[in-house]
Amino acid sequence: MLKDRTLEDDYRSWRESHPPHNRDWDFTTLSGEEIAPLYSPLDIADESYTRDVGFPGQFPYTRGIYANMYRGRLWTMRQFAGFGTARDTNRRFHYLLSQGMTGLSVAFDNPTLMGVDSDDLRALGEVGRTGVAIDSLADMEVLFEGIPLDRVSTSMTINAPAAIVLAMYVAVGEKQGVPAGQLTGTLQNDILKEYIAQKEWIYPPRQGVKLVVDTIEYTAQHMPKYHPVSISGYHIREAGSTALQELAFTMADGLSYVDASLERGLDIDSFAPRLSYFWNSHIDFFEEIAKFRAARRLWARLLKEKYGAKNPRSWLMRFHTQTAGVSLTAQQPENNIVRTALEALAAVLGGTQSLHTNSMDEVLALPTEKAVEIALRTQQIIAYETGVVNTVDPLGGAYFVEAMTNRMEEGALEYFRRIEELGGVLVGIEAGFFQREIADAAFRYQRELEERRKVMVGVNDFVNDQPIDIPILKIDPEVEREQIRRLQELKRTRDNDRVDRTLAAVRDAAARDENVMPYLLESVRAYATIQEMSDAMKAVLGSYREPAFV
């Protein structure tokens, strides 16, 4: 106590003799948080090292989930890829693996993400555009041709139809002779953030959560190495949220899945170790690092103290990170390489388990091979040249970083209280709470940009008039035609009676409120399409209509 008072006195006299002369600038984070000119031990006076920080690999895991972190194993360099037909994407996968990428990550096209077949009118112009087009198991077989699923882990970014795609993945494994229990990888399968931010939904929220719990239950029983949900802040942030909102809303979603799974009767330690997170790494360096560290501590505390999980693996917040797509600019796109590198560095210093670095041209279209390569090289430079991997959590103990970490955690707890008062996440979605919070934040930031209180280099300052000129990968319209041909051929040649029978079974299972996974697997094996299966469930579960929150 006595010593603290002395430090405070010292601080005050230092401050008085060195009054701050700030230039005319807004010293706030990207999210608008005030930042002090200096941080010192005074700012973390309430923090206890053992209670709040601790050693890596030990509760509350603020410094990292593993004791040895990147000295033991580097993060997985996992570039998200997918375009055109399954054949096109399969070729890109083989190329990336040959370049040293260590995990696959599948991007699906919009029709697939919405549970719409390539030959549906709504899919017109979108087949294979921003991801790979998958209509049935036949496409999935091609997608993973020559890729041993027992050795390569695969992340699949899909939500509303996630249960169907998981069933397809299991079925491809079967064809390769890999049993479900051997499959590794991650399904995004975070439907709540769809209603909140990304907005690719099919069923109403409650029914959407039911399907998520079906996959959690199924994998808990049959796929012990598989991660059924990747609770995602990425899209919440891309939709315009602040860093704190990303943290709080995402973790609130995560807790909702935990609650729903417990309600199903699952034991917390049977599924919690395989829940994982997916964060955005934006351009405000320290704010992001604090977010990652706070998330790790929060999750550990909640799972241990609130939910009483016994298995320490349930307490670990493992996460994938992607650099911020919205931080990229169409103007002077080469600058995006620099932005991405800094964001990737923040993710590494924040202790990520896997990382996707955006390509410089992603803001304009699908990335070219060259741009993807630079993005991957960026990770390799961080891993092998910069030396930041040599010690665990090199920023731990930094006054600023610890203070920001504490602030993030407190802010998230405050949001949790508000969400609880509202009646929980589902009610908050219905009432538009999250949507409005995010839209307000996005609007505020846009204002700040236009008033130049925040700068984006090349956009609202340091502008040059050079035309936007980088090579862009274009999708041949022939892709759509070919995909439709393949699909219609399939519909002619498969056993359609079997398809109908299995679809009816899916519908009945949904109506009985049973776990639909085994029934979907049967339908998938019969080569039913993604839309056929979605529609079968929609007939029972209903469909979601967007509330108008502008």
Partner 1 sequence: MVTETTEEAAARLVESLLKGNRRAAGRVISAIEDGGDAVEMLMRALYPHTGRASIVGITGPPGAGKSTVVDELIRVMRADGRAVAVLAVDPNSPFSGGAVLGDRVRMMRHATDPEVFIRSMGARGHLGGLALASHNALLALDAMGFSDLLAETVGVGQSELEVAGTADTTVVVVPPGLGDGVQAIKAGIMEIADIFVVNKADHPQADRVVADIRDVLRMDLKRPEWTPPIVKTVATAGEGLEDLWIRIRQHRRYLEESGELERRRRARLEQEIVEIAERRLREQVLRPRTATPEFRAMLTDVVERRMNPYEAAEQIVPKTAAAG
Partner 2 sequence: MSEPRLRILMAKAGLDGHDRGVKVVARALRDAGMEVIYTGLHQTPEQVVRAAVDEDVDAIGLSILSGAHMTIFPRILELLREQEAEDIILFGGGTIPEDDLQELKRMGVAELFTPGAYTQEIVEWVRENVGEKAAGGSAAPS
Q: Which residues bind partner 1 (CB under 8 A)?
A: 204, 431-432, 542, 545-550
* Residue length of the chain: 550
Task: Enter the tokens of residue 461.
Answer: 């300052």
- Among candidate residues 270, 227, 257, 214, the one with its CA nearest the CA of residue 519: 214
Inter-residue contact 197 to 238 (CB < 8 Å)? yes
Residues 428-467 as x/- pattern, contact with partner 2 by CB under 8 A: -----------x--xx--x--xx-----x--xx------x
Tell me which of ligand GTP, partner 1, partner 2, none is bound by residue 287, counting a contact when its beta carbon lies within the kind-specific cut-off of 5 to 8 angstroms: none
CA 240 vs CA 137, 199, 267, 445, 481: distances in Å: 36, 14, 36, 8, 36
Looking at residues 416 to 445 of the shown chain, list those that interact with ligand GTP (rule: CB under 6 A): 430
Residue 38 or 442 having the CB closest to partner 2: 442
Residue 2 or 550 having the CB closest to partner 1: 550
Q: Which distant-in-sequence residues (6+ apart) come within 8 Å of 332 by Cβ?
A: 457, 458, 464, 466
Q: Which distant-in-sequence residues (6+ apart) come within 8 Å of 63 by Cβ?
A: 53, 54, 55, 56, 293, 351, 392, 393, 396
- What string of H, E and C letters represents the secondary structure of 392-448? CCCCCCCHHHHHHHHHHHHHHHHHHHHHHHHCCHHHHHHCCHHHHHHHHHHHHHHHH
Residue 411 or 458 having the CB closest to partner 2: 458
Tell me which of partner 2, partner 1, ligand GTP, none is bound by residue 383, counting a contact when its beta carbon lies within the kind-specific cut-off of 5 to 8 angstroms: none
Strand-pairing partners, residue 416, are: none
Look at residue 343 and give its three-state secondary structure.
Answer: helix
Residue 83 or 544 having the CB closest to ligand GTP: 544
Tell me which of partner 1, ligand GTP, partner 2, none is bound by residue 411, counting a contact when its beta carbon lies within the kind-specific cut-off of 5 to 8 angstroms: none
Residue 151 or 545 having the CB closest to partner 1: 545
| Min separation Cβ 380 and partner 1, Å | 46
Residues 228-247 as x/- pattern, contact with partner 2 by CB under 8 A: ----------xxx-------
> Residue 422 half-sphere exposure, CB side, CA atoms within 13 Å?
18
Look at residue 535 and give its three-state secondary structure.
Answer: helix
Tell me which of partner 1, ligand GTP, partner 2, none is bound by residue 472, counting a contact when its beta carbon lies within the kind-specific cut-off of 5 to 8 angstroms: partner 2
542 binds ligand GTP (CB under 6 A): no
Residue 333 or 428 having the CB closest to partner 1: 428
CA 547 to chain centre: 24
CA 276 vs CA 10, 117, 270, 280, 535: distances in Å: 45, 29, 14, 14, 29
547 binds ligand GTP (CB under 6 A): yes
Tell me which of ligand GTP, partner 1, partner 2, none is bound by residue 204, counting a contact when its beta carbon lies within the kind-specific cut-off of 5 to 8 angstroms: partner 1
Size of the site for ligand GTP (CB under 6 A): 2
Looking at residues 322 to 341 of the shown chain, list those that interact with partner 2 (rule: CB under 8 A): 326, 329-331
Cα Rg of the chain, angstroms: 24
Binding site for ligand GTP (CB under 6 A): 430, 547
Binding site for partner 2 (CB under 8 A): 110-111, 113-114, 116, 121-126, 129-130, 194, 197-200, 238-240, 326, 329-331, 363-366, 439, 442-443, 446, 449-450, 456, 459-460, 467-469, 472, 474-475, 546, 548, 550
